[in-house]
Amino acid sequence: MDRLSIIKIGGKVVETPESLTAFLLEFNKISGNKILVHGGGRSATNIAAKLGIETKMVEGRRITDEAMLDVVVMVYAGLVNKRIVAGLQALDCNAAGFSGADLDLIRAKKRPVQEIDYGFVGDIEEVNTKELRLLLNENIVPVIAPLTHNGQGLLLNTNADTIASALAVELSNIFNVNLIFCFEKKGVLSDPENEESIIFDLTYNSFLEYKQDGVVNAGMIPKLDNGFNAIKNGVKEVLITNAENIATGRGTRLFMGDRF
């Protein structure tokens, strides 16, 4: 199988021109097939605040009412996505920006209300691997915003980590997939105050213990949930790291069972 790198970028990395440029330079060094999935939550929160719209989060996941949906569509599919595409074009990387609605790439259903009403949040039902393969075959780098649709005209906010994981799982039937979650830290830290306390090998049971103890919290929870879901479903490699190390492979690697 050909190799495919799926990189999800989020956190502070996409928030400033300097950090984004540094990331794109490293991303451009990755050879072969690649897909970039991006977040932009901090930008959405900032724009929402300027518009007087309150941001509500539960374990790192955004509550998306109708007003917030308008904000995330504008920010994710517009501002953030096109900045990334333009930055890659400046590096002679032929990128094209998409939401899940474009080319019918990612269909989802509105999350049903249970203990929490997440609003217009989508749970992925189908990934269009055919169109993605066509793009990759033409040496086009898809840059995918964290938005899906239900096939009936409704856009839905969908966690970018979830999208990256779903893409990795579906495409692992066609490619040898390497999934990388990239943010501002060097990996998962055992001590949030110590930037060098990297957990290089993280098993699922250890993750559950860290989560219970509060070492892993907030936005790191969906990242790890989705990373382990990818491993469970056939993705060969999952790495959590920062922009400097997406090409070196240094960071936190996920494993279902004991590492040794």
pLDDT digits (tens, 9 = 90+) for 125-163: 999 999 999 999 999 999 999 999 999 999 999 999 999
Query: How far apart (Å, rounded) are the C-alpha atoms in residues 190 and 210?
Result: 8
28-56 pLDDT, tens digit each:
999 999 999 999 988 999 999 999 999 99
Within a domain: 144: yes
Exposure class string for 162-181: b at 16+ Cβ within 10 A, else e = bbbbbbbbbbbeebbbbbbb
Domain range for 31 is 3-255
> HSE (CB half, 13 Å, CA atoms) of 103?
17
Q: Output b/e per residue, 108-127; b: 16+ Cβ within 10 A.
A: beebeeeeeebbbbbbbebb
pLDDT, position 58: 84
Quick check: is 74 in a domain? yes
Percent of the chain with pLDDT over 90: 78
Tell whether the model's pLDDT for residue 8 goes beyond 70.
yes
According to the model, what pLDDT value does residue 260 have?
37
pLDDT at 96: 98
What are the phi and psi torsion angles at 41 (to 5°)? -60, -40
Instruction: Provide mean pLDDT across the span 176-194.
Output: 91
Number of domains in the chain: 1
Is residue 92, in this structure, part of any structural domain at all?
A: yes
Kindly list the strands in the beta sheet with 106-110, ordered across the sheet, starting from the edge strand earlier in the chain: 122-127, 106-110, 147-149, 155-157
Q: In this structure, what CATH number is given to the domain that contains residue 243? A: 3.40.1160.10
pLDDT at 170 over 80: yes
**pLDDT greater than 50 at residue 229:** yes
Domain-located, residue 60: yes
Confidence tier at 258 by pLDDT (50, 70, 90): low
Confidence of residue 175 (pLDDT cuts 50, 70, 90): very high
Query: What's the mean pLDDT in 85-104?
Result: 98
Q: What is the mean pLDDT of residues 62-85?
A: 96
Asked whether residue 205 is domain-assigned, the answer is: yes
Q: Which residue has the tokens 């203990």?
A: 115
**pLDDT (0 to 100) of residue 201:** 94
Supply the mean pLDDT for the chain.
Answer: 93
Instruction: Look at 190 and 108; give whichever has higher pLDDT.
Output: 108
Please determine, for residue 257, whether its predicted confidence score (pLDDT) is greater than 80.
no
> Residue 51 falls within a domain, yes or no?
yes
For residue 260, is it within any domain?
A: no
Stretch among 77-81, 147-151, 192-196 having the lowest mean pLDDT: 192-196
Of 65-79, 81-95, 241-255, minimum mean pLDDT range: 241-255
Cβ 202 vs Cβ 220: under 8 Å: no
